[in-house]
Amino acid sequence: MEEKNSVNPIEEVDEIEADSSIKGKVNHAISSETMHAIIANRNTSILNYTVSSYDPVNIAKALEELDSEDLLFFFKSVHSDESAEVFAYLEQETKEKVVAAFSSKELVDLVDGMSTDDLVDFVDELPANLVSKVLKATSPADRARVSAYLNFKDDTAGTLMTPEYLQVKYSDTVADALKKIRETGKDMETIWEVFVVDNTRTLVGTITLDVLLENDEDEVLENIMKNDFVSVTLNTDQEVVLKAFRKYDVSVIPVTSSSMRMLGIITFDDAMDVSEEETTEDVQISSAVLPSDEPYLKMHVFKLVRSYAVWLVILLILNTFTSMAMSYLSAPLAVIPILTAFLPTIMGTNGNASDQTATITVRELALGNISTKNYFKVAFRELRASMLTALMLAVFAFGWMLVEMYSGMVALTNTDNSILKDFYGGDVNLFYLSIAALVSFTFLVTITFAKMLGVSLPVLAKKIHLDPAVMSQPIISTILDIFSIVIYFVFANLIMRGLGF
């Protein structure tokens, strides 16, 4: 087992047992070695004290490297309310190891302490042979909820929500609401925001805990509730839910039926989990990697190879067109070899230009700041920006190419010297000016095209219901390489014709 730190596990156990002054949760992590030593000691009082002293996230991390026997003892010995919380933070593979080791009867206390949304997420990722074992351990009510949640459309508000929320009637008083919080609050996802419904369970308002505490106990909730709130329905796409959290800066969003009947809530932490998943997926796709929700170190090497190879094969095929463009239009390179030196610069700069715009476009689409409906407004704005950017780059490139050639950073070949002598009469200034102008005009056209491509392809992907990140930088770069080569050689051919080739 890999050593995490230099702390002696037995000494750390002694410190935990001796330090009875610990209040709340310890912030630093506990090592796997220490957890193994505590479990090996078979002292359940020390084990429970340790679990209560550390954050459940740190306990879960320490359990990841333990074997099935240690995990079995841990979950059989730790109080169910705390063990359930730790279980929720384990990796899916470790959870499956625990489920496989437990009987359905032994699982009862464990799953009973889990919140509905955590239980649904857990069951949804279990292999079929373990699902029935877990469902047998749940109460009929939880089993019905889990089954209902699993039938919701993927990536919608229904799959994110939890039914564990505080609900009061609009005719209740502040005293009634506070009493309900005291009685049931510990089992709820949040007690900060309370949802107010009428006699038909229709959501009519919300009220926060601080407002309840600030008002008289006999005040009717209808008079102090907030009736301006944001809500979503079961089939609302999870991306729309994330946008709502960002736009309205709320910590919880109610989920209702189409007739505004209260069904559940989505909390900020669940939304952030989805946001992290979507961001990871976008980064993977935009880097030409097949997305996967498995942690890198847990992924089988062949799955990792597949995630790389599929896109590389696609890009290899696309790059065939780059080779074709160069083969059909390579005459100028043979006649004026110095042109070859500037081709990588042109292709690389165009790729960077498109990457800037594509990155901004994909992000703005994700945030909901732009959409397919206002494409022409966005495209016109980007066209003006791209033309100005291209003009600046063209002017700079003209000067910089001259610096490169006059300074000797780019050297002339014997063929170049022959061209200089035979067609330019030995006028090196005219020769350098024509080459710099060629590169400059190429930048003027290709950078404008690059940025328009960077804004158009992600919007097109969104229009045809694909992830905009599919239009990744490697794909756009490949298209741009072909376009850049064609434009560069077209201008080069014009110079050659002017020289009488």
Q: Is residue 233, in this structure, part of any structural domain at all?
A: yes
Same domain, 105 and 127: yes
Q: How confident is the model at residue 28 (pLDDT cuts 50, 70, 90)?
A: low
Answer yes or no: do 441 and 307 share one domain. yes
Where does a domain end: 112, 133, 155? Answer: 155
pTM above the 0.75 mark?
no
Bridge partners (DSSP) of residue 220 are: 173
Both 322 and 429 in one domain: the answer is: yes
Is 160 part of a structural domain of the chain? no
Same domain, 138 and 182: no
Whether residues 306 and 244 share a domain: the answer is: no
Write the CATH number for 485. Answer: 1.10.357.20
**Distance in angstroms (rounded) separating the CA atoms of residues 164 and 265:** 8
User: What is the C-alpha to C-alpha distance for residues 350 and 397, in angstroms, rounded to an integer?
Assistant: 13
Please tell me whether residues 313 and 372 are part of one structural domain: yes
Q: What is the pLDDT of residue 25?
A: 52
User: What pLDDT, on the 0 to 100 scale, is given for residue 211?
Assistant: 93
Total count of domains within the chain: 3
Q: Does a structural domain hold residue 162?
A: no
C-alpha dihedral sign at 425, 431, 433, 438: positive
Q: Are residues 101 and 226 in the same domain?
A: no
Contact 36, 69 (CB under 8 A): no
CATH number at residue 266: 3.10.580.10
Using the predicted structure, report yes or no on whether residue 176 has a pLDDT greater than 90: yes
Q: CA geometry: angle at 380 spanning 458 and 441, to 5°?
A: 90
Q: State which residues form the domain around 34.
A: 9-155
The answer as to whether 327 is a domain residue is yes
> Do both 318 and 226 map to the same domain?
no
Among 134, 155, 176, give the residue marking a domain's end.
155
* 215-262 pLDDT per residue, tens: 999 999 999 999 888 999 988 988 888 888 888 888 899 999 888 988
Give the pairing type, strands 252-256 and 262-267: antiparallel
Residues 57, 176 share a domain: no
Do 62 and 107 lie in one domain? The reply is: yes
Task: Taking each helix axis as running N to C, give the angle between helix 44-53 and helix 68-77, from 0 to 180 degrees, rounded to the nearest 10.
Answer: 80
Which pLDDT belongs to residue 111? 74
Report the pLDDT averaged over residues 95-119: 76
If asked whether residues 149 and 172 sit together in one domain, one would say no
Task: Quote the pLDDT of residue 131.
Answer: 72
Q: Is the pLDDT of residue 288 over 80?
A: no
DSSP type of residue 26: B
Question: How is residue 250 annotated by DSSP?
Answer: -
**In a domain? residue 439:** yes
Residues 230 and 174 in one domain: yes
Q: Are 347 and 481 in contact (CB under 8 A)?
A: yes
